[in-house]
Structure 1
Amino acid sequence: MLNTNVLNINPETVCFIILKAKEFQAKEEVTFNEKIPDSEYEYDWSQILADHEDDLTYLEVKKVIEDLEPDQQVDLLTLMYIGRGDFDPNEWSAAHKEAKNNLAPNLTGYLLSKPLIAGYLEKGLEALGYTCQE
Protein backbone atom coordinates (compact mmCIF):
# COMPACT_ATOMS: atom_id res chain seq x y z
CA MET A 1 0.00 0.00 0.00
CA LEU A 2 1.16 3.51 -0.83
CA ASN A 3 2.41 5.65 2.04
CA THR A 4 0.65 8.96 1.42
CA ASN A 5 3.02 10.77 3.79
CA VAL A 6 5.84 10.77 1.25
CA LEU A 7 5.55 14.44 0.25
CA ASN A 8 8.26 16.85 1.34
CA ILE A 9 6.34 19.68 -0.32
CA ASN A 10 3.23 21.23 1.19
CA PRO A 11 0.18 20.27 -0.92
CA GLU A 12 -1.04 23.88 -0.59
CA THR A 13 2.14 25.03 -2.35
CA VAL A 14 1.45 22.56 -5.16
CA CYS A 15 -2.13 23.86 -5.39
CA PHE A 16 -0.78 27.41 -5.73
CA ILE A 17 1.54 26.28 -8.52
CA ILE A 18 -1.42 24.53 -10.21
CA LEU A 19 -3.49 27.72 -10.03
CA LYS A 20 -0.67 29.81 -11.51
CA ALA A 21 0.00 27.22 -14.21
CA LYS A 22 -3.66 27.39 -15.24
CA GLU A 23 -3.47 31.19 -15.39
CA PHE A 24 -0.29 31.08 -17.42
CA GLN A 25 -1.53 28.43 -19.86
CA ALA A 26 -4.81 30.35 -20.38
CA LYS A 27 -3.10 33.45 -21.74
CA GLU A 28 -3.64 34.28 -25.39
CA GLU A 29 -1.46 35.71 -28.13
CA VAL A 30 1.67 33.83 -27.18
CA THR A 31 4.36 34.19 -29.81
CA PHE A 32 7.17 31.74 -30.39
CA ASN A 33 10.62 31.97 -31.85
CA GLU A 34 10.69 31.12 -35.56
CA LYS A 35 13.99 29.24 -35.25
CA ILE A 36 13.32 25.51 -35.50
CA PRO A 37 14.86 23.72 -32.51
CA ASP A 38 17.10 20.69 -32.93
CA SER A 39 15.17 18.49 -30.50
CA GLU A 40 11.82 18.15 -28.73
CA TYR A 41 13.53 19.23 -25.52
CA GLU A 42 14.70 22.48 -27.13
CA TYR A 43 11.24 22.95 -28.65
CA ASP A 44 9.60 22.81 -25.20
CA TRP A 45 12.07 25.36 -23.84
CA SER A 46 11.75 27.68 -26.80
CA GLN A 47 7.98 27.75 -26.41
CA ILE A 48 7.94 28.45 -22.69
CA LEU A 49 10.61 31.13 -22.84
CA ALA A 50 9.34 32.95 -25.94
CA ASP A 51 8.07 36.31 -24.70
CA HIS A 52 7.43 34.96 -21.20
CA GLU A 53 10.52 35.95 -19.23
CA ASP A 54 8.83 39.15 -18.02
CA ASP A 55 5.33 37.65 -17.62
CA LEU A 56 4.18 38.35 -14.05
CA THR A 57 2.44 35.00 -13.61
CA TYR A 58 5.53 33.19 -14.86
CA LEU A 59 7.78 35.21 -12.54
CA GLU A 60 5.49 34.56 -9.57
CA VAL A 61 5.44 30.79 -10.04
CA LYS A 62 9.17 30.80 -10.82
CA LYS A 63 9.89 32.50 -7.49
CA VAL A 64 7.83 29.91 -5.61
CA ILE A 65 9.54 26.97 -7.35
CA GLU A 66 13.04 28.44 -7.00
CA ASP A 67 12.44 28.99 -3.27
CA LEU A 68 11.64 25.29 -2.77
CA GLU A 69 14.26 23.04 -1.22
CA PRO A 70 15.80 20.58 -3.71
CA ASP A 71 13.85 17.64 -2.24
CA GLN A 72 10.63 19.63 -2.64
CA GLN A 73 11.46 20.36 -6.28
CA VAL A 74 12.05 16.64 -6.80
CA ASP A 75 8.64 15.92 -5.25
CA LEU A 76 7.01 18.43 -7.61
CA LEU A 77 8.53 16.68 -10.62
CA THR A 78 7.57 13.31 -9.14
CA LEU A 79 3.95 14.46 -8.85
CA MET A 80 4.04 15.36 -12.54
CA TYR A 81 5.33 11.88 -13.42
CA ILE A 82 2.62 10.20 -11.31
CA GLY A 83 -0.13 12.49 -12.64
CA ARG A 84 0.99 12.03 -16.24
CA GLY A 85 0.83 8.27 -15.84
CA ASP A 86 4.55 7.60 -16.25
CA PHE A 87 4.44 5.81 -12.90
CA ASP A 88 1.74 4.24 -10.80
CA PRO A 89 1.20 5.93 -7.41
CA ASN A 90 2.55 2.79 -5.74
CA GLU A 91 5.81 3.35 -7.63
CA TRP A 92 6.55 6.59 -5.77
CA SER A 93 10.13 5.56 -4.94
CA ALA A 94 10.97 4.77 -8.56
CA ALA A 95 9.28 7.97 -9.77
CA HIS A 96 11.12 9.98 -7.14
CA LYS A 97 14.46 8.47 -8.17
CA GLU A 98 13.72 9.27 -11.83
CA ALA A 99 12.77 12.85 -10.91
CA LYS A 100 15.93 13.29 -8.86
CA ASN A 101 18.04 12.09 -11.79
CA ASN A 102 16.24 14.37 -14.26
CA LEU A 103 15.72 17.56 -12.27
CA ALA A 104 15.95 20.40 -14.79
CA PRO A 105 18.07 23.44 -13.97
CA ASN A 106 15.07 25.65 -14.82
CA LEU A 107 12.28 23.54 -13.34
CA THR A 108 9.71 26.30 -13.82
CA GLY A 109 10.39 26.53 -17.53
CA TYR A 110 10.38 22.76 -17.89
CA LEU A 111 7.07 22.31 -16.05
CA LEU A 112 5.26 25.20 -17.70
CA SER A 113 6.35 23.98 -21.11
CA LYS A 114 3.90 21.12 -20.58
CA PRO A 115 0.44 22.36 -21.64
CA LEU A 116 -1.27 19.92 -19.28
CA ILE A 117 0.99 20.50 -16.26
CA ALA A 118 -1.84 21.73 -14.00
CA GLY A 119 -3.82 18.54 -14.65
CA TYR A 120 -0.76 16.35 -14.15
CA LEU A 121 -0.01 17.93 -10.77
CA GLU A 122 -3.66 17.71 -9.72
CA LYS A 123 -3.81 14.01 -10.62
CA GLY A 124 -0.52 13.41 -8.82
CA LEU A 125 -1.86 15.01 -5.66
CA GLU A 126 -5.14 13.12 -5.93
CA ALA A 127 -3.21 9.84 -6.24
CA LEU A 128 -1.76 10.60 -2.81
CA GLY A 129 -5.15 11.54 -1.35
CA TYR A 130 -4.83 15.33 -1.54
CA THR A 131 -7.08 17.81 -3.31
CA CYS A 132 -6.94 21.50 -4.13
CA GLN A 133 -10.67 21.93 -3.55
CA GLU A 134 -11.57 23.89 -0.41
Structure 2
Amino acid sequence: MDIAIDRVTDLVIRLRAVEVKEGMTDPASGSNPIDDGSVDILVSGTDYATEDELRSMIDGLNDDERADLLALFYVGRDDMEPEEWRDAVRFAREREAAGEGAATTILRTPIASELLEEGLASLGITPDLSDA
Protein backbone atom coordinates (compact mmCIF):
# COMPACT_ATOMS: atom_id res chain seq x y z
CA MET A 1 0.00 0.00 0.00
CA ASP A 2 1.31 3.43 -0.94
CA ILE A 3 -0.63 5.45 1.63
CA ALA A 4 0.72 5.60 5.17
CA ILE A 5 -1.53 4.09 7.83
CA ASP A 6 -1.05 7.23 9.95
CA ARG A 7 -2.45 9.32 7.11
CA VAL A 8 -5.52 7.09 6.83
CA THR A 9 -5.94 7.21 10.61
CA ASP A 10 -5.81 11.01 10.58
CA LEU A 11 -8.45 11.12 7.86
CA VAL A 12 -10.66 8.67 9.78
CA ILE A 13 -10.47 10.81 12.92
CA ARG A 14 -11.26 13.98 10.99
CA LEU A 15 -14.10 12.29 9.10
CA ARG A 16 -15.62 11.23 12.42
CA ALA A 17 -15.61 14.84 13.57
CA VAL A 18 -17.54 15.89 10.46
CA GLU A 19 -19.89 12.90 10.50
CA VAL A 20 -21.16 13.63 14.01
CA LYS A 21 -22.23 17.16 13.17
CA GLU A 22 -25.94 17.62 12.79
CA GLY A 23 -27.76 19.90 10.45
CA MET A 24 -29.92 22.72 11.71
CA THR A 25 -32.49 21.50 14.20
CA ASP A 26 -34.88 24.37 13.60
CA PRO A 27 -34.12 25.74 10.13
CA ALA A 28 -37.25 27.89 10.01
CA SER A 29 -36.83 29.43 13.45
CA GLY A 30 -36.20 32.88 11.99
CA SER A 31 -33.88 33.77 14.85
CA ASN A 32 -30.36 35.06 14.65
CA PRO A 33 -27.67 32.35 15.18
CA ILE A 34 -25.63 34.78 17.29
CA ASP A 35 -28.60 35.34 19.60
CA ASP A 36 -29.12 31.57 19.83
CA GLY A 37 -25.50 30.95 20.70
CA SER A 38 -25.31 28.90 17.48
CA VAL A 39 -27.13 25.98 19.08
CA ASP A 40 -28.24 24.71 15.68
CA ILE A 41 -24.99 22.81 15.20
CA LEU A 42 -23.66 20.01 17.36
CA VAL A 43 -20.03 21.09 17.43
CA SER A 44 -18.28 24.17 16.20
CA GLY A 45 -14.69 25.09 16.76
CA THR A 46 -11.28 25.45 15.22
CA ASP A 47 -10.18 21.95 16.29
CA TYR A 48 -12.72 20.23 14.07
CA ALA A 49 -12.25 19.53 10.40
CA THR A 50 -14.68 20.89 7.90
CA GLU A 51 -15.55 19.18 4.67
CA ASP A 52 -13.40 21.74 2.82
CA GLU A 53 -10.38 20.84 4.96
CA LEU A 54 -10.98 17.13 4.35
CA ARG A 55 -11.35 17.70 0.62
CA SER A 56 -8.06 19.62 0.61
CA MET A 57 -6.34 16.84 2.55
CA ILE A 58 -7.59 14.15 0.19
CA ASP A 59 -6.91 16.19 -2.94
CA GLY A 60 -3.42 16.89 -1.58
CA LEU A 61 -2.53 13.20 -1.64
CA ASN A 62 -0.55 11.96 -4.59
CA ASP A 63 -2.25 9.75 -7.21
CA ASP A 64 -1.07 6.49 -5.62
CA GLU A 65 -2.24 7.53 -2.15
CA ARG A 66 -5.66 8.63 -3.43
CA ALA A 67 -6.06 5.34 -5.29
CA ASP A 68 -5.18 3.38 -2.14
CA LEU A 69 -7.57 5.44 -0.03
CA LEU A 70 -10.41 4.84 -2.45
CA ALA A 71 -9.51 1.15 -2.73
CA LEU A 72 -9.68 0.89 1.09
CA PHE A 73 -13.11 2.49 0.92
CA TYR A 74 -14.28 -0.07 -1.69
CA VAL A 75 -12.94 -2.99 0.33
CA GLY A 76 -14.56 -1.60 3.49
CA ARG A 77 -17.87 -1.24 1.65
CA ASP A 78 -17.56 -4.86 0.45
CA ASP A 79 -17.50 -3.84 -3.19
CA MET A 80 -14.27 -5.79 -3.45
CA GLU A 81 -12.50 -8.43 -1.39
CA PRO A 82 -9.09 -7.90 0.24
CA GLU A 83 -7.69 -10.53 -2.15
CA GLU A 84 -8.70 -8.24 -5.01
CA TRP A 85 -6.55 -5.36 -3.73
CA ARG A 86 -4.78 -4.74 -7.03
CA ASP A 87 -8.11 -4.72 -8.86
CA ALA A 88 -9.53 -2.34 -6.24
CA VAL A 89 -6.62 0.06 -6.76
CA ARG A 90 -6.98 -0.20 -10.54
CA PHE A 91 -10.72 0.49 -10.27
CA ALA A 92 -10.03 3.45 -7.98
CA ARG A 93 -7.65 4.91 -10.56
CA GLU A 94 -10.33 4.51 -13.24
CA ARG A 95 -12.89 6.29 -11.05
CA GLU A 96 -10.41 9.13 -10.43
CA ALA A 97 -9.82 9.45 -14.18
CA ALA A 98 -13.59 9.50 -14.77
CA GLY A 99 -13.96 12.44 -12.39
CA GLU A 100 -15.43 10.45 -9.49
CA GLY A 101 -12.44 11.00 -7.26
CA ALA A 102 -11.66 9.94 -3.73
CA ALA A 103 -12.70 13.21 -2.10
CA THR A 104 -16.12 13.30 -3.74
CA THR A 105 -16.84 9.62 -3.14
CA ILE A 106 -15.71 9.63 0.47
CA LEU A 107 -17.26 12.95 1.50
CA ARG A 108 -20.69 12.09 0.11
CA THR A 109 -20.82 8.90 2.20
CA PRO A 110 -22.12 9.47 5.75
CA ILE A 111 -20.23 6.48 7.22
CA ALA A 112 -16.97 6.91 5.32
CA SER A 113 -14.82 6.74 8.46
CA GLU A 114 -16.34 3.38 9.37
CA LEU A 115 -15.84 2.04 5.85
CA LEU A 116 -12.18 3.07 5.80
CA GLU A 117 -11.68 1.37 9.18
CA GLU A 118 -13.37 -1.77 7.87
CA GLY A 119 -11.17 -1.67 4.78
CA LEU A 120 -8.06 -1.55 6.95
CA ALA A 121 -9.39 -4.35 9.17
CA SER A 122 -10.11 -6.49 6.11
CA LEU A 123 -6.46 -6.15 5.16
CA GLY A 124 -5.40 -7.14 8.68
CA ILE A 125 -4.35 -3.61 9.67
CA THR A 126 -5.41 -2.29 13.07
CA PRO A 127 -4.56 1.42 13.34
CA ASP A 128 -4.36 3.20 16.67
CA LEU A 129 -7.53 5.29 16.81
CA SER A 130 -7.36 5.85 20.56
CA ASP A 131 -7.16 9.63 20.05
CA ALA A 132 -10.53 9.57 18.29
Q: CA deviation at 1:120?
A: 0.8
1:81 corresponding residue in structure 2: 74
Q: 1:10 aligns with which of 4, 16, 34?
A: 4
2:105 corresponding residue in structure 1: 110
1:125 maps onto 2:117 in alignment: no
SS in 1 for 2:91: helix
1:20 corresponding residue in structure 2: 14
Larger helix share, 1 or 2: 1
Q: Deviations over 1:28-58 (max 9, x none)?
A: 1159xxxxxxxxxxxxxxxxxxxxxxx9522
Q: 1:58 aligns with which of 51, 60, 73?
A: 51
Structure 1 counterpart of 2:94, one-letter code: N
SS in 2 for 1:102: helix
Moved beyond 4 Å, runs of 4+: none
Q: 1:30 and 1:90 mapped to 2: Cα distance?
A: 42
Q: 1:107 and 1:76 mapped to 2: Cα distance?
A: 7
Q: Deviations over 1:35-84 (max 9, x none)?
A: xxxxxxxxxxxxxxxxxxxx952222222212110111000000000010
Q: 2:24 and 2:58 mapped to 1: Cα distance?
A: 22
Q: Work out whether residues 14 and 49 of structure 2, in 8 Å CA contact, stay in contact via their aligned partners in 1.
A: no
When normalised by structure 2's length, the TM-score is: 0.71
| Backbone CA RMSD of aligned residues | 2.1
Q: 1:128 and 1:114 mapped to 2: Cα distance?
A: 21
Q: 2:100 and 2:24 mapped to 1: Cα distance?
A: 23
When normalised by structure 1's length, the TM-score is: 0.70
Q: Please, which runs of 5 or more residues in structure 2 have no aligned partner?
A: 26-47
Q: Please, which runs of 5 or more residues in structure 1 have no aligned partner?
A: 1-6, 32-54
Q: 1:16 and 1:77 mapped to 2: Cα distance?
A: 15
Q: 2:86 and 2:102 mapped to 1: Cα distance?
A: 20
Q: CA deviation at 1:105?
A: 5.5
Q: CA deviation at 1:90?
A: 0.5
1:42 corresponding residue in structure 2: none
